[in-house]
Amino acid sequence: MEDFIRAGISTLWAFFVTVFSIPYVIHLAHLKQLLDAPNQRTIHESSTPRLGGLSIFAGFASAFTIYSTPDFVLMKVFAGTIILFFIGLKDDILPVSAFKKFFIQVLATGIVMFLGDIRISSFHGIFGIYQLPDGISYMFTFVIIIGLTNAFNLIDGIDGLAGCITVLVNLLLAYIFICLMPDSYFSKGIAALSLVGAVTGFLRYNIHKAKIFMGDTGSLVCGFVTTCLVIIMVEAKDDYGSYFLPNSPVLGMSLLVIPIVDTLRVFIIRVLQGRSPFDPDKNHLHHALLNTGLSQLSTLFVLMAINIAFISVFLYFKQIDLSIQLLLFVGLGALMCIVLGWLPALMKRENKFL
């Protein structure tokens, strides 16, 4: 019971630190003109502060360091998060080159992989593949962490989306770490709940119409911490070397289905159009829904409902063969892309005949 009280207090601490600090950050951003001005790629209509990540980090870091027990692995995650926080903050104040940001992300990823040993070491028997050679394991993990950390930045295109996904994913991770795993994973649950509390406090000011954005600082912190915790969950084993969750790889993918599918979708579209996959555009899933006439808030609800549906499907089918689960995930993800990509054209046709 004492541990559950501590977990609850850590969440509340992070929440209140973030909630009470954001008004001061908003005031400072307006005072110093640290604002995100509308342009052809953005949806917001007025200049908005982009330093929300400052308060998110303050809430998360203070709650985590106060209420978490010493944990060698999490200390490496926290070290990488601090590095990303500072490069994100600098980018939100003064633009940083893509190379410098990528270099810092590589450094943070190297810390958790090589010093914290956070990596995908096995495919759990998917298509008959089990233990991965170290070289492939490190390369695969590198792509996963870098890719998903940046994917959180890519989905941060409408009010509340990146924050709500962060809260949803980390709530389930906290439940898994605290309720389904031994005491050695309790500190991971505290880390997840600290992020939940901080981001929930931020959402108080970010749900439509947003008074502040999380910026690169917030998206890097949320993406990096969440991805590292998902990998820890996927790789978690009991004393006998068996994985705690029978379908942890696919469950991990279902938790992050929106950033995974959205990023792959826009990259494929850009390449097929002969452009760089890193060229910004309005081909994201949230843009497709907005093009049907939905509001930002309705779009947020639809995407969150899809995320919850994916999680529910793979919790229900957790005992079937992992290879089949992966194929089901790919099929459902492709179906989601087709339907959401097709909806705007369908709505225009219907409006034409009305």
For the chain, the first-to-last Cα distance in angstroms comes to: 60
Sequence-distant (≥ 6) Cβ neighbours of residue 127 within 8 angstroms:
323, 326
So what's the pLDDT on residue 53? 96
pLDDT in tens, 45-69: 678 899 999 999 999 999 999 999 8
Instruction: Say if residue 272's pLDDT is above 90.
Output: no
Instruction: Say if residue 8's pLDDT is above 90.
Output: yes
Could you give the count of Cα atoms lying within 13 Å of 274 in the half-sphere of its Cβ? 0
Instruction: Say if residue 134's pLDDT is above 70.
Output: yes
The residue type of 69 is T
So what's the pLDDT on residue 189? 96
| Residue 323 contacts residue 127 (beta carbons within 8 Å) | yes
Q: What is the dihedral sign for C-alpha 202, 85, 159, 334?
A: negative
The token duo for 73 is 């692995």
The token duo for 324 is 């089949």
- Average pLDDT score over the chain: 91
Instruction: Say if residue 222's pLDDT is above 90.
Output: yes
pLDDT in tens, 286-311: 988 988 888 899 999 999 999 999 99
| Residue 257 contacts residue 305 (beta carbons within 8 Å) | no
Mean pLDDT of 73-102: 94
Closest listed residue to residue 123, CA positions, set 264, 238, 243: 243
So what's the pLDDT on residue 14? 98
Mean pLDDT of 313-327: 93
Residue 284 DSSP class:
S
Residue 293 DSSP class:
T
Question: Quick one: pLDDT band at residue 348, thresholds 50, 70, 90?
Answer: low
Region for residue 125 given its phi and psi (left: phi exceeds 0; alpha: psi -120 to 50; beta: otherwise): left
